Amino acid sequence: MEAKFQIMSTQVIKPFTTTPHHLKHFNLSFLDQISPYQYTSVLFFYSASNVSSDDTNFTSLCDNLKASLSNVLTLYYPLCGRIKANAYIDCNDAGVPFIEARVSSHLSSILEYPQVNILKQLLPLDPYEPVFENVNYEELVMMAVKFSKLSCGGVVLGVCMSHKIIDGIGMTSFFNAWVETTKVSGNPTKPCMEASLLFPTKDMHFTTLSAGIVESKELVIARLVFDGTSLSRLRDEIDGYSPTRVEVVTALIWKSMMDATIGSSRGKKPIRSFASHVVNIRGRLVPPFPENSIGNVIQLAVTPLVEMNVEKNVGLKDLVAMVKKAIVGLDVDYVSKLGSDVGFDRFMEFRKKLKFMVSEDIQWSKFSSWTRFPLYEVDFGWGKPTWVSTTIFPIRDNVMLLPTRCGEGIEAWVTLDKEVMVQFESNEKLLQHALVSRAS
């Protein structure tokens, strides 16, 4: 039976304590300014065994979430504001929409074969609409919440947070603080809000790197699940490099994407490709920047260009080495200079090079990883989540890596052109190490 989604109520949650006047103006860093007007989304699924199924208890859960959210927003007050001129946030306490909903579906049905169209309806808004639609950016909320009751008694918490102000690490810190506020003796940590001091706001117009890479072709999404045993076996195949789980999975998926692209053209078209990974640079700054800082304190690690065709292949070990070198290359020397005028100029030249490569019909395999985020520890008092997921940015050659519940595996969401996906999901090497299923 097709799932039905019903919104029961919508309420705007404001900070428990009014934001004082001297904190009303929150400057964006230039790393925030270049970030796209999209939302980082996350979904937490909790089973009925941890949540009472009666309506009274669901109402109580909603009330507790709203109260604790109001409290934590006192610390994270920029999430209640609105962006102005892509330069600062007017922290006007406009608030965060909180939606209560009912879904006529069982948790087991959703988890058996997760589908993107279902996941998106469990979110409070379309996280990518600002990228593709003509919207007034200054009216966009910084955060929204949707809390849904499933017909089996389980619940789903869907959250969207503006990527203009918060990255994956910052999002995780927010959830840690939110969970702390639900505890009787909780002591949430105040976030660091000084990224703009390191990477000062710039008085200039920025375009995002997503501009120009959205395809009109039909895109499809696949979900890959690597268990711990498969990852250990895969890492053992790469002698001499001691790759991390993320590095070896990245290399395997990247290679499979290139093979699939060549295969979809029946070998007639060679491929030029490079891969990138989003890297948290907080710990690479001197002194290290706090992990609970909000803002985009991240950089792209980019590999060299790879050329392949049916006669010229590149080995998995070589790709692992490229990925590892790119990530390590974002060292203390690089990140420490990023906030200077010289560092900024070098950064902008790097962006120009990326845009040129994209315009030259070069495949850009874009990777992000949340595998080290403690998302399965988000317990609001009714137990840890059964499953944590997100929705992937709908552009071609995009990959999101997530942890599995046990902590030993990796779940990968991959977006490709339809004809390329046919080749990708039948790749023998990939199928040896992962369970592959269509998600759209």
Catalytic residue numbers read 163, 379
Distance set, CA 106 to CA 26, 82, 114, 198 (Å): 42, 36, 12, 47
32: left (phi over 0), alpha (psi -120 to 50) or beta: alpha
Q: How many other CB atoms sit within 10 Å of the CB of residue 55?
A: 10
Which amino acid, one-letter code, is at 17? T
| Contact of 169 with 115, CB cutoff 8 Å | no
Number of residues in the chain: 440
| Contact of 161 with 124, CB cutoff 8 Å | no
- At 196, list the tokens: 């703009």
- At 309, list the tokens: 């065709």
Helix (H) or strand (E) holding 389: strand 387-389
Question: How far apart, in whole angstroms, are the C-alpha atoms of residue 234 and residue 238?
Answer: 7
Query: CA triplet 110, 133, 5: central angle to 5 degrees?
Result: 25
Q: What distance, in Å, lies between the first and last C-alpha atoms of the chain?
A: 18
| Contact of 151 with 53, CB cutoff 8 Å | no
Sole residue written with tokens 């891969």: 275
List phi, psi (to 5°) of 367.
Answer: -115, 140
Listed in sequence order, the DSSP H helices in 16-54 are: 30-33
- At 321, list the tokens: 């080495």
List phi, psi (to 5°) of 113.
Answer: -140, 85
* Helix, strand or coil, per DSSP, at residue 111: helix
Distance set, CA 118 to CA 111, 126, 127, 131 (Å): 11, 12, 14, 21
Distance set, CA 311 to CA 179, 259, 262, 269, 308 (Å): 54, 12, 11, 11, 8
